[in-house]
Structure 1
Amino acid sequence: MQYQPRLLASLVALGSLASPAAHATNGYFFHGYGIKAQGQAGVSIAQPQDALAAANNPAGTAWIGDRLDVGATLFAPDRSAEIEGNGAGANGHYNGNAKNTFVIPEFGVSKQLNDKLGVGLAVYGNGGMNTDYRSNPYAAFGSKNSVGVDFTQVFITPSVAYKFTERQSFGIGLNVVYQRFAAKGLSAFANPMFSSDSAHLNDHGHDSSTGVGIRLGWQGQLTDDLTLGLTWASKIKAAKFDRYAGLFASGGSFDVPENYGAGLSYKLTPRLTLGADVQEIKYGHVRSVGNDFDVQSLFAGNRFGAKDGPGFGWRDITVYKFGASYALLPELTLRGGYSHAEQPIPGSQTFLNILAPGVIQDHASLGLTWSPSASSELNLAYTHGFKKTVDGNGSIPQAFGGGEANLKMSQDILGVGYAWKF
């Protein structure tokens, strides 16, 4: 199977056009890649089920055969913020849902070259964030018009996997990332007092960025019923957002954080399979995401856009996922799952995160696969991200009038996919 550069460019363009704004579930990473994985809260590291397997663990590419998967996810987040106790006049409730429904496409194809070697290509939305506040929470500090950000992260992952024993495989995937970002309504911060490049902080439309990293994976069937999986993805040093060099740390840098995980799958009965994943996402190791918004450091010279300038103050998180699938009939499989993530945003960092309130911690999912024939599948998944509020704790500096910024978000996610098996 050959992947031509023109084809890859077309797939990137398709992904970016079909999802002009993005999502946030476990931080700003999506909760599951592939409609089947979505239906069990993202459990997938030791359960390759479709041609999106390489997005979760490239070792799974050796086990899924010849198939083509096409899907789309309708994502509906509800995000808002409240400011209270502010002496500058910013108090109020702010709704960030000027746009609140988004479509996220996905595509995967796999080919078994022989009884040991498989290759594949997966295209999917890895992560992102969107907010749009018609009433600007930063207006009291000098910002004008509506405020928000639009961030989309599309991955293209070609993969190859090799079965080095009858029950074990190793896989490698190339993570090619395309990122798209825009910010508006932040003119209060677009001055030399706050930014190292105040001309490139706000209202410059969409800018794009690309980068390349790797994902490695292992899968091993320890017994007839128990399978384990391990996966690791490198940090991706992406090209800088030049139009926003005065906003993001290190002159517009916005890298993709390192992440890794482990999973197990256990066939409790011939029909019932249980699974669990643990995932670690290193948000705190990306300066533009992990640097704190610290006003003392800001006034000491670490302005927006500087190496140690303000970020969103996100912390590393661990995500715990649990899922089950049940073959009710030969042509019908039912799924369900639940996941819990640590909170990436501490109460002290809520002020800037009005723009990026990725506070959801708990998801519950349901899904099904119906096979009208031996060569085709219809896949459905629904996920609810339970409402979560993070209250500010010393979040608004006294230089901005003090008080607290409180963040709130919930989500509904509906995925539909169809697969052809060859």
Structure 2
Amino acid sequence: MISQQAYSQGIIISAGGPVHRSMGGASTAAPTSAIGALYWNPATISGMEKGELEVGLDLLSTDHQVQSTFGPFEGSTDADPGVLPVPNFGWVHPILGSRWTLGLGVNSVAGFKTSLSADPTNPVLAPQPTGLGGVNSEATFLQITPVLSYAATDRLSFAAGPLITTGQLGIDPFVFDGVNADSTYSSGRAAKYHWGGGFQAGAFYTGQNGVNLGASIKSPTWMEQFEFQGKDENGLPRTLTADFDLPLIVSVGAALTSYQDWLFAVDARFIDYANTDGLGDSATFQADGSLKGLDWSSIFALSMGAQRRINERIQLRCGYTFNQNPIRNSESFYNVASPLIYQHLLSVGASYNLCRDVSINTAYSHYFENTREGPIVSPASGPVAGTSVTNRLSADVFSFGVTMRH
């Protein structure tokens, strides 16, 4: 029941920066920008024509509504998380006279922020212990990805590197630890940034017929146990803990470059939420009232993008993303605070070359509204007959950035 607003394939952000975003996040075989090349397949940096430094900023605005019923009582509450900034950075540098290429990405790869006020007219948000009360949460997972790519031949490249991740969480009410003596949940704010790590590897092949192929794997990101500062029923300090990792991700892709001034790309992705600590653990309440996990399902996602060079200065792009929903209807209550349920995303964007080696990039994405509805669940007795909780979510993202080539 962490309340989160994100624009992602579940908690994972599907794209970074305006160029990558306007291609629908398809980049496993299409290195259209430094951020995009590093995001899903590090081996594609060997296929870039020049070295590149790219910086981007996404601005996320969400529309999240929670509606619930309990017998004759019914209410609806809108969240007010504000606009969430999401920065991205990518640097690619071919080593002259060698087959090696260096890369470094610094990207917000997962995150959310929301604020739902306590609402006595909305059963699920009624004050504790009757309901959850106000639900406020925020999370940021920033990933640092140094990469080394080797061109084994003129057409085939391999790459690998570590995933260095830092995360910050705040959850109110903190339902992942036991209740206080008065049957209320404490709020929880992480006392520090927590760290974790993993690895990634990829392969990239450039075909003679203009068809490029790519594949990559990102291991689970294993985070240290999160510790939170809470309070007991008397207002005295209490330490809370929870385990949350980021999932294994496998991507394959293809790109078509044989048509003059056109580029087409498609990615297929598997995200293994079901076997990820915290996200995939069963959504059951323990004897102390703590929620074990969110019970997310593993999903497949499909991304498609097209790029058209209009002239020496202007490039236009569009993209589409579809992904399965990691949250089942029966789990709507557990995810009042994690309604990451979008399935359809449409993006458009453009780049304008100020000069040969500098361009400005923009993009806009719309996440179409989706809903999940299920019963209210009591920690003591399970699903409550005659009740329902509906999460409704849509989002818009505005992106802009600058690319400098060398």
TM-score range normalised by the length of the shorter chain: 0.7 to 0.9
C-alpha separation in 1, matches of 2:197 and 2:152: 27
Q: Which residue of 2 aligns with 1:210?
A: 195
Q: Residues 399 and 228 from structure 1, CA distance in 2 versus in 1: closer, same or farther, beyond 3 angstroms? A: closer
Q: Residues 56 and 160 from structure 1, CA distance in 2 versus in 1: closer, same or farther, beyond 3 angstroms? A: same
Q: Which residue of 2 aligns with 1:227?
A: 212
Letter in 2 for 1:178: T
Residue 284 of structure 1: SS of its match in structure 2?
Answer: helix
Displacement of 1:33? 2.2
2:324 to 311, 334, 342: 342
Q: Which residue of 1 aligns with 2:6?
A: 23
- 1:132 equivalent in alignment to 2:115: yes
- 1:239 equivalent in alignment to 2:224: yes
Q: Which moved more, 1:184-193 or 1:55-64?
A: 184-193
Q: Which has the higher helix share?
A: 1
Displacement of 1:150? 0.7
Which string of whole-angstrom CA distances, capped at 9 and with x for unpartnered residues, describes residues 25-67 of structure 1? 2111112123211001111110112222222111012222322
Q: Residues 345 and 223 from structure 1, CA distance in 2 versus in 1: closer, same or farther, beyond 3 angstroms? A: same
Letter in 2 for 1:139: A
| Contact 2:156/2:204 (<8 A) preserved | yes
Letter in 2 for 1:66: G
1:311 to 268, 286, 293: 293
C-alpha separation in 2, matches of 1:186 and 1:262: 37
- Seq. identity, %: 21
5+ residue gaps, structure 1, are 1-20
Displacement of 1:190? 4.8
Residue 19 of structure 2: SS of its match in structure 1?
Answer: helix
C-alpha separation in 2, matches of 1:188 and 1:330: 54
Displacement of 1:186? 4.8
Q: Residues 324 and 140 from structure 1, CA distance in 2 versus in 1: closer, same or farther, beyond 3 angstroms? A: same
Displacement of 1:214? 0.7
Letter in 2 for 1:269: Y
C-alpha separation in 2, matches of 1:358 and 1:409: 8
| Contact 1:111/1:120 (<8 A) preserved | yes
Q: Which moved more, 1:181-190 or 1:363-372?
A: 181-190
Q: Which residue of 2 aligns with 1:372?
A: 354
- 1:171 equivalent in alignment to 2:162: no
Q: Pairwise CA RMSD of aligned residues?
A: 2.7
- 1:119 equivalent in alignment to 2:119: no
- 1:396 equivalent in alignment to 2:377: yes
- 1:252 equivalent in alignment to 2:242: yes
C-alpha separation in 2, matches of 1:256 and 1:144: 26
- 1:162 equivalent in alignment to 2:147: no
C-alpha separation in 1, matches of 2:293 and 2:182: 13
TM-score (norm 1): 0.84
Q: Which moved more, 1:48-57 or 1:377-386?
A: 48-57
Residue 173 of structure 1: SS of its match in structure 2?
Answer: strand
Residue 161 of structure 2: SS of its match in structure 1?
Answer: strand
Letter in 2 for 1:48: P
Q: Which residue of 2 aligns with 1:57?
A: 41
Displacement of 1:261? 0.6
Q: Which has the higher strand share?
A: 2
- 1:265 equivalent in alignment to 2:255: yes
C-alpha separation in 1, matches of 2:182 and 2:220: 29
Q: Which residue of 1 aligns with 2:169?
A: 181
Which string of whole-angstrom CA distances, capped at 9 and with x for unpartnered residues, describes residues 44-92 of structure 1? 11011222222211101222232211111111111111112358x6x31
Q: Residues 269 and 68 from structure 1, CA distance in 2 versus in 1: closer, same or farther, beyond 3 angstroms? A: same
C-alpha separation in 1, matches of 2:401 and 2:82: 22
| Contact 2:209/2:258 (<8 A) preserved | no
| Contact 2:176/2:242 (<8 A) preserved | no
Displacement of 1:293? 2.2
TM-score (norm 2): 0.87
C-alpha separation in 2, matches of 1:102 and 1:390: 23
C-alpha separation in 1, matches of 2:330 and 2:402: 44
Displacement of 1:156? 0.7
Letter in 2 for 1:258: L
- 1:332 equivalent in alignment to 2:318: no
| Contact 1:259/1:281 (<8 A) preserved | yes
Q: Which residue of 2 aligns with 1:289?
A: 279
| Contact 1:149/1:183 (<8 A) preserved | yes
C-alpha separation in 1, matches of 2:150 and 2:182: 52
| Contact 1:67/1:110 (<8 A) preserved | yes
Q: Which residue of 2 aligns with 1:6?
A: none
Displacement of 1:93? 0.8
Q: Residues 205 and 159 from structure 1, CA distance in 2 versus in 1: closer, same or farther, beyond 3 angstroms? A: closer
Q: Which residue of 2 aligns with 1:276?
A: 266
Q: Residues 186 and 120 from structure 1, CA distance in 2 versus in 1: closer, same or farther, beyond 3 angstroms? A: closer
Residue 351 of structure 2: SS of its match in structure 1?
Answer: strand
| Contact 1:182/1:207 (<8 A) preserved | no
C-alpha separation in 2, matches of 1:101 and 1:74: 6
C-alpha separation in 1, matches of 2:401 and 2:279: 32
